Structure 1
Amino acid sequence: MALSIRQNEILELARAEGRVLVDNLAHRFDVTLQTIRRDLGEMAEAGLLDRVHGGAVPRAGTVNLGYEARRRMNAEAKAAIGAACAAMIPDNCSLILNLGTTTEAVAQALIHHSNITVVTNNINVANIMLANPGCEIMVAGGALRRSDGGLVGELTTQFFEQFKVDYAVIGTSALDHDGDLLDFDLAEVRVSRAILRQSRHAFLVTDHSKLDRPAPARIASLSEIDTIFIDQPLPENLAQRCAEWGTQVQVCPSSAD
Structure 2
Amino acid sequence: MVVNSNPRQIKLLNVVRLRGAATVEELADTLGVTLQTVRRDVQRLADAGLLARFHGGVQVPSSTVENIAHQQRESLNAAGKAAIARAVAGQVPNGCSLVINIGTTTEAIARALLHHTGLRVITNNLNVAAILSGNPQCEVIVAGGVVRTRDRGIIGEATADFIRQFKVDIALIGISGIEADGSLRDFDYREVKVAQTIIQQSREVWLAADHSKFNRPAMVELATLPQIDRLFTDRAPPEPFPTLLADAGVRCDIAAE
TM-score (norm 2): 0.83
**CA-CA distance at 1:49 after TM superposition:** 1.9
- Which residue of 196, 200, 209 corresponds with 1:206? 209
**CA-CA distance at 1:241 after TM superposition:** 2.2
Residue 114 (1) aligns with residue 117 (2):
yes
**CA-CA distance at 1:3 after TM superposition:** 3.9
**CA-CA distance at 1:206 after TM superposition:** 0.5
Residue 87 (1) aligns with residue 90 (2):
yes
Q: Partner residue of 1:244?
A: 247
Residue 234 (1) aligns with residue 233 (2):
no
Q: Partner residue of 1:27?
A: none
Q: Partner residue of 2:48?
A: 46
Residue 132 (1) aligns with residue 135 (2):
yes
Q: Can you list the C-alpha shifts for 1:75-132, whole angstroms capped at 9, x where unaligned?
A: 0000000111111110010000000000011111101100000100001001110121
**CA-CA distance at 1:20 after TM superposition:** 7.7
Flag structure 1 segments of 5+ consecutive residues without an equivalent: 22-31
Task: Indicate conservation of the 8 Å contact 2:233/2:253, yes or no.
Answer: yes
Q: Partner residue of 2:101?
A: 98
The alignment yields a C-alpha RMSD, in angstroms, of 2.8
Within a 5 Å distance, the mapping from 1:2-13 to structure 2 comes to 2-4=2-4
Residue 160 (1) aligns with residue 159 (2):
no
Q: Partner residue of 1:178?
A: 181
Task: Indicate conservation of the 8 Å contact 2:4/2:10, yes or no.
Answer: no
Q: Can you list the C-alpha shifts for 1:5-31, whole angstroms capped at 9, x where unaligned?
A: 678x959x96xx95389xxxxxxxxxx
Choose 61-70 or 144-153, whichever is displaced more.
61-70
- The amino acid of 1:159's aligned partner reads F
- Which residue of 189, 192, 208 corresponds with 2:192? 189
Flag structure 2 segments of 5+ consecutive residues without an equivalent: 21-30
Q: Partner residue of 2:28?
A: none
- Which residue of 218, 221, 224 corresponds with 1:218? 221
In the superposition, relative to structure 1, how do residues 57 and 243 fare at CA in structure 2: closer, same or farther (>3 Å)? closer
Q: Partner residue of 2:24?
A: none
- The amino acid of 2:152's aligned partner reads G
Secondary structure of 2:82's aligned partner: helix
- C-alpha separation between the residues in 1 aligned to 2:136 and 2:120? 11
Aligned residues: 237
**CA-CA distance at 1:157 after TM superposition:** 0.5
State the identity as a percent. Answer: 43
Secondary structure of 1:19's aligned partner: helix
In the superposition, relative to structure 1, how do residues 47 and 104 fare at CA in structure 2: closer, same or farther (>3 Å)? same
